[in-house]
Amino acid sequence: MCFSSTASFTAAVALVPLGLLAVRQAQRSGQQGRLPLALTPWLFALQQASEGVVWLGLDDPGGNGTTAPLTRAAALLFLFFACALWPAWMPWLALRFGNTLLAPWRRRLIRLLALLGLAFGLGLWLPLPLDSDRLQIVVVDGSIHYATTFLGSGVINHTLGSGLYALLVGLPLLLVPSGRLRLFGLLMLLAFTLAQLAYLHAFTSVWCYFAAVLSALTVWVVSEPPRPPLRSLLRPPPRTAGPPPP
């Protein structure tokens, strides 16, 4: 499989109309809580476009490669999505999508994951724009490898960090009582695992590309018929009046 600026820009362009379709579908459903999920293809489109710019910088024989300001800015934008946004966005969209469907313990757990994802993501990304030595960009076997030095890199190994990341982006989607959203979350975790096993040398780039492609499914997910709120499911049925007294 080959990745390039063409692949990144093609994914970005294709996701724009799909995002529009998802937003319209969410609006027609009357479920405002589905809008964050419907907006996700547009976010992935912006991320893929930013990596397309990185590819252009790396492929320019007359440019400065990874030292070009535009290339580094595009790489930092791409990594903002990968490191900072997705670990917080996925729990938040699950919380909004679930809305009245979530049991209290599920809601509390997803809120905790959202806060953890926000702290975890910002801790990963914020040092990168502040210290240029923490980010190096190279092409390895046809894919971009973002060589990053995160805070705690010497304390938290790759396996533990990857496991926490997968937990933050995948588990919240599985906690929502929606068959389509759960399938979407499961496919995200499968794509994450595939990127880990087959493309570890360029995991961040490949995982985000797989996830961007999967975000096309949001059109299908947001069109799922709404389920009744949890409160109505727990409410006892109304008692029927008995026969009038003689």
Q: What is the band of 1 on the pLDDT scale with cuts at 50, 70, 90?
A: very low
- Residues in CB range of 127: below 8 A, 6 or more apart: 134, 149, 150, 151
Q: Residue 90 in contact with residue 173, Cβ under 8 Å? A: yes
Kindly indicate the confidence band of residue 101, based on its pLDDT and cuts at 50, 70 and 90: confident
User: pLDDT band at residue 142, thresholds of 50, 70 and 90?
Assistant: confident
Instruction: Characterise 25 by phi-psi region: left (phi > 0), alpha (psi -120 to 50), beta (else).
Output: alpha
Mean pLDDT over the full length of the chain: 88
Task: Report which of residues 141 and 168 the model is more confident about.
Answer: 168
Q: What is the per-residue pLDDT across 36-54, written as a single tens digit (0 to 9) for each?
A: 999 999 999 999 999 999 9
The pLDDT value given to residue 148: 87
Least confident of 37-41, 148-152, 175-179, 201-205: 148-152
Could you tell me which residue, 63 or 82, shows the higher pLDDT?
A: 82
Q: Which DSSP state fits 131? A: -
Pair of tokens at residue 171:
């588990």
**In this prediction, what percent of the chain has a pLDDT beyond 90?**
67
Predicted confidence (pLDDT) per residue in 8-40, tens digit: 999 999 999 999 999 999 998 888 899 999 999
> What is the pLDDT, as a whole number, of residue 227?
75
Q: If we measure between CA atoms, which residue out of 236, 222, 232, 234 comes closest to residue 23?
A: 222
- The whole-number pLDDT of residue 31 equals 86
pTM given for the model? 0.88
Residues 103 and 59: their CA atoms lie apart, in Å, by 51
Between 54 and 3, whose confidence is greater? Answer: 54
